[in-house]
Structure 1
Protein backbone atom coordinates (compact mmCIF):
# COMPACT_ATOMS: atom_id res chain seq x y z
CA UNK A 1 0.00 0.00 0.00
CA UNK A 2 2.93 2.34 0.61
CA UNK A 3 3.89 2.42 -3.08
CA UNK A 4 0.55 3.88 -4.13
CA UNK A 5 -0.78 0.77 -5.87
CA UNK A 6 -4.50 0.47 -6.47
CA UNK A 7 -6.17 -1.23 -3.53
CA UNK A 8 -9.42 -3.17 -3.80
CA UNK A 9 -11.71 -3.07 -0.77
CA UNK A 10 -15.18 -4.24 0.08
CA UNK A 11 -18.00 -1.65 0.20
CA UNK A 12 -18.61 -2.30 3.90
CA UNK A 13 -15.01 -1.25 4.59
CA UNK A 14 -15.05 1.81 2.33
CA UNK A 15 -16.24 4.23 5.01
CA UNK A 16 -13.71 3.01 7.57
CA UNK A 17 -10.88 3.23 5.04
CA UNK A 18 -12.05 6.68 4.02
CA UNK A 19 -11.71 7.82 7.63
CA UNK A 20 -8.20 6.36 7.78
CA UNK A 21 -7.20 7.97 4.48
CA UNK A 22 -8.56 11.32 5.65
CA UNK A 23 -6.51 11.02 8.83
CA UNK A 24 -3.39 9.98 6.92
CA UNK A 25 -3.76 12.95 4.57
CA UNK A 26 -3.25 15.14 7.64
CA UNK A 27 -0.02 13.33 8.59
CA UNK A 28 2.69 14.76 6.27
CA UNK A 29 5.34 12.49 7.80
CA UNK A 30 3.57 9.32 6.64
CA UNK A 31 3.69 7.66 3.24
CA UNK A 32 1.22 8.88 0.59
CA UNK A 33 -2.27 7.41 0.84
CA UNK A 34 -2.86 4.84 -1.91
CA UNK A 35 -5.66 5.25 -4.42
CA UNK A 36 -8.67 3.19 -3.46
CA UNK A 37 -11.22 1.45 -5.67
CA UNK A 38 -14.31 0.06 -3.97
CA UNK A 39 -15.23 -3.40 -5.24
CA UNK A 40 -18.58 -5.12 -5.22
Structure 2
Protein backbone atom coordinates (compact mmCIF):
# COMPACT_ATOMS: atom_id res chain seq x y z
CA UNK A 1 0.00 0.00 0.00
CA UNK A 2 1.34 3.39 -0.95
CA UNK A 3 -0.45 5.51 1.60
CA UNK A 4 0.97 8.74 2.95
CA UNK A 5 0.66 7.96 6.62
CA UNK A 6 2.03 9.58 9.71
CA UNK A 7 2.34 7.23 12.65
CA UNK A 8 1.73 8.99 15.93
CA UNK A 9 2.53 7.48 19.30
CA UNK A 10 0.22 8.15 22.24
CA UNK A 11 2.38 7.62 25.35
CA UNK A 12 -0.60 8.10 27.65
CA UNK A 13 -2.54 5.34 25.92
CA UNK A 14 0.29 2.97 25.09
CA UNK A 15 -0.69 2.41 21.48
CA UNK A 16 -0.04 3.78 18.02
CA UNK A 17 -2.56 5.59 15.85
CA UNK A 18 -2.54 6.38 12.16
CA UNK A 19 -3.46 9.75 10.74
CA UNK A 20 -3.93 9.27 7.03
CA UNK A 21 -4.13 11.98 4.39
CA UNK A 22 -7.27 13.13 2.61
CA UNK A 23 -6.66 10.96 -0.46
CA UNK A 24 -7.98 7.95 1.40
CA UNK A 25 -11.69 7.08 1.27
CA UNK A 26 -13.61 8.84 4.02
CA UNK A 27 -14.84 5.56 5.51
CA UNK A 28 -11.25 4.36 5.91
CA UNK A 29 -10.23 7.66 7.50
CA UNK A 30 -13.21 7.50 9.84
CA UNK A 31 -12.36 3.91 10.84
CA UNK A 32 -8.74 4.82 11.52
CA UNK A 33 -9.69 7.87 13.55
CA UNK A 34 -12.22 5.88 15.55
CA UNK A 35 -9.68 3.19 16.43
CA UNK A 36 -6.80 5.60 16.94
CA UNK A 37 -8.79 7.55 19.50
CA UNK A 38 -10.44 4.58 21.18
CA UNK A 39 -9.67 4.38 24.88
TM-score (norm: length of structure 2): 0.37
TM-score (norm: length of structure 1): 0.36
